[in-house]
Amino acid sequence: MEDKYISTSDLARILGVTRQAIQKQLKDNPKIKIKKVGAGYLYDIDILPDDIKQRIKKVQKETSEKVIDLSQKPSKDIEFEKELWKAADKLRGNIDPGEYKYIVLGLIFLKYVSDAFYQIKDELQKLVSDPKGASFIRDESSRKYYVEQKDPYRAKGIFYIPEKARWDYLQKYTMHNDIGKYLDEALEAIEEENPTLKGILPKVYSRTPVESHSLGELINLFSKIKFDHNFDQEKDILGRVYEYFLGQFASEEGKRGGEFYTPRSIVKLLVEILEPYEGARVFDPACGSGGMFVQSGEFLKIHQKDPAKISFYGQEFNINTWRLCKMNLALRGMEGQIEQGNSYYDNKLSDLRFDFVLSNPPFNAEWDPKRLSDKDPRLKYGIPPASNANFMWIQHFIYHLAPNGMAGFVMANGALAVGGKQEGEIRKRIIEDDLVDVIIACPPKLFYNVSLPVSLWFITKNKKNGRFRNRTGETLFIDAREIYEPVSRKQVEFTEDQIIYISSIAKLWRGKNVIEETKDQLRILKEKYEKEIEELNSVLNTNLRNKETKKKIEERVKELEELLKINLEIQKLWNENFGEGYKNILGLCYSATIEEIRKNGYVLTPGRYVGVKPEEDDGIPFEEKMKKLKAELEEYFRQGRELEEKIKENLRKINF
């Protein structure tokens, strides 16, 4: 069985050492069973030296205890989510992240529904125990009976949780070898009592390769999310933790991660430009874990609107990802009609039209056009080739738009310029129907471990619908390839300031006066960064003894200083470029007419329209620059010769 083996990299990750250190310690031990797989090695867990097995358990315990300390803070910042992830990851052992995510996210969901139940139960107990209240029940046994009935919970839109599925009950069994059985029974009981959850919850705990002590430790870990019955605050942090974990699992899984998770900064930019409103119907036919829905609800909340007054519809092919989505929505008290199936061949919501379509479909995927009828109403503009479904998705989005609907979606850059009688002709017809509203070129490396450059498309069914100015025959191009903040060597993201900047350009172009609003948003962010920097610096000035804490604070200050720098730069650019309204800016944005797009062969690559940003003249004469460059090169050559002599000398010393 693979489960009884652990890789060098997994051992190194858990113990916080290098792979070389692991190999050095184990290579000469005759008792160690090693299995070679490709270029790497797997070690038999049961025959590992006792000291290593003890160290694994010790590291897992210490990491969990860190979360306990952080959970005592009155406000749990991103550090809490990071430490929670770190602890859960240490407990993973050698389990594949793709399998482990269902185990961890299922527990977060279980904690949420259990705590929601406890909150309503406490409220009911107070109501029936108050002699002055209208709901007072004199007899204590009758009171106990009443608070265990299902109807009061369902009336408040809360899942009824039977006793064997409640978090406090499960905590009693964290030390049992068969804790997995108790968890599966708990999830089965919840599904039995709540038909809307039927088939959604991951009943995988009794057959998971995760060790029972690690499952128990995970339960103890998530038990630390407590806010003294302030459930609204707890719901928010549980939602944040769920989303943060989704992102981390996506990163661990690399390319596969893109199948269920779109990085938050991309989703936020899409939603900011579309601006969903109360009463709207939002559709995502490749909904993954539901990030588009969550961000749409968040957008309404930020703008003091009711997130309950928006309807969500979706479809997801992968059944496990469909479950993640259903849990993600339930975790935030949101509902939606989310169907499971293949959107190409089995369009479950074919009769419905929507105000907004938001999506990140699979890029450049193969499909089988022969499985569709030639009369399929979605294929209005043509049949895409079997080798690439990009324009199948684009036509699917257009088909599902209401007469005044708008779509915002992520698309591989190839769709902007691909030629040919199929894809090129389809794009031409879509452009001639005046559906393309905004195109944004994005930087590469926005997705986890995938450097594929993408663009954001915004399609509008009616450019003169009255919500914005009449934009008939116009398309806005934005080149945002140089607007990003590196997260790591492999990944970049849009910061809050950059999202505000890019989305405000689009809003301004559409005729919405956001000049002062954008200035205010950027100013508020600037003050937020400055305040946090000041608070953290005051902590650093108190002679901190804990080196690890000091290092983390210093790193956060550096992060904030970088964000502040970006903020000030964007404020300057906004005032200079858009302080009096929208205008075309060389190298950044351009409002093109349909005639200009025709002249460019119906190519939608933003760089073709916005042009190249002029290089700033630093005032240094060319001759002076060349003189300096020559001096630097000569110095590098000199250092190279010195290094070469040193290497030769060292080789002579060892008679080589």
Q: Same domain for 216 and 70?
A: yes
pTM, 2 dp? 0.78
Whether 87 is in a domain gets the answer yes
In the predicted model, residues of the chain with pLDDT beneath 70 are: 1-45, 47, 56-80, 225-238, 254-260, 448-450, 544-545, 614-623, 625, 651, 653-656
Whether 594 is in a domain gets the answer no
DSSP letter, residue 316: E
Q: Same domain for 30 and 71?
A: no
Q: Same domain for 212 and 105?
A: yes
Confidence at residue 3, expressed as pLDDT on a 0 to 100 scale: 46
Confidence at residue 247, expressed as pLDDT on a 0 to 100 scale: 78
Q: What CATH number does residue 6 fall under?
A: 1.10.10.10
What range defines the domain where residue 4 resides?
1-48
Whether 44 is in a domain gets the answer yes
Confidence at residue 228, expressed as pLDDT on a 0 to 100 scale: 45
Q: Same domain for 42 and 64?
A: no
Q: How far apart are CA 114 and CA 170, in angstroms?
A: 11
Whether 212 is in a domain gets the answer yes
Q: Same domain for 30 and 150?
A: no
Q: Same domain for 25 and 56?
A: no
Confidence at residue 43, expressed as pLDDT on a 0 to 100 scale: 66
Q: What CATH number does residue 206 fall under?
A: 1.20.1260.30
Whether 502 is in a domain gets the answer yes
Q: What's phi and psi for 441, nearest 5 deg?
A: -85, 130
Of the candidates 232, 247, 262, which is a domain's last residue? Answer: 247
Instruction: Give, in degrees to the nearest 5, the angle at Cα 350 between 346 and 352.
Output: 150
- Helical residues (DSSP H) of 5-139, grouped into ranges: 8-15, 19-26, 50-71, 78-90, 97-129
Q: Same domain for 491 and 535?
A: yes
Whether 32 is in a domain gets the answer yes
Query: What is the DSSP code string of 11-45?
Result: HHHHHTS-HHHHHHHHTT-TT--EEEETTEEEEEG
Confidence at residue 75, expressed as pLDDT on a 0 to 100 scale: 40
Q: How far apart are CA 141 and CA 146, in angstroms?
A: 9
Q: How far apart are CA 480 and CA 353, in angstroms?
A: 31
Whether 355 is in a domain gets the answer no
Q: How far apart are CA 210 and CA 188, in angstroms?
A: 20
Is 603 in contact with 420 (CB distance < 8 Å)? no
Nearest residue to 184 via CA among 126, 107, 267: 107
Of the candidates 231, 247, 263, which is a domain's last residue? Answer: 247
Of the candidates 563, 580, 597, which is a domain's last residue? Answer: 580
DSSP letter, residue 450: B
Question: Between the CA atoms of 320, 323, 325 and 327, what dihedral angle is there, to the nearest 10 degrees?
Answer: -140
CA atoms within 13 A on the CB side of 185: 12
Please state whether 434 falls in left (phi above 0), alpha (psi between -120 and 50) or beta: left
Q: Same domain for 26 and 96?
A: no
Q: Same domain for 215 and 109?
A: yes
Is 322 in contact with 201 (CB distance < 8 Å)? no
Q: How many domains does the chain have?
A: 4
Confidence at residue 425, expressed as pLDDT on a 0 to 100 scale: 97
Tokens coding 389: 């479904």
Whether 527 is in a domain gets the answer yes
Q: Same domain for 82 and 197?
A: yes
Q: Same domain for 74 and 218?
A: yes
Q: How far apart are CA 135 and CA 126, in angstroms?
A: 9
Task: List all residues 6 or more positions away from 196 whose beta carbon is below 8 Å from its beta carbon.
Answer: none
Q: Same domain for 163 and 209?
A: yes
Helices 319-331 and 97-129, interaxial angle, to 10°? Answer: 30
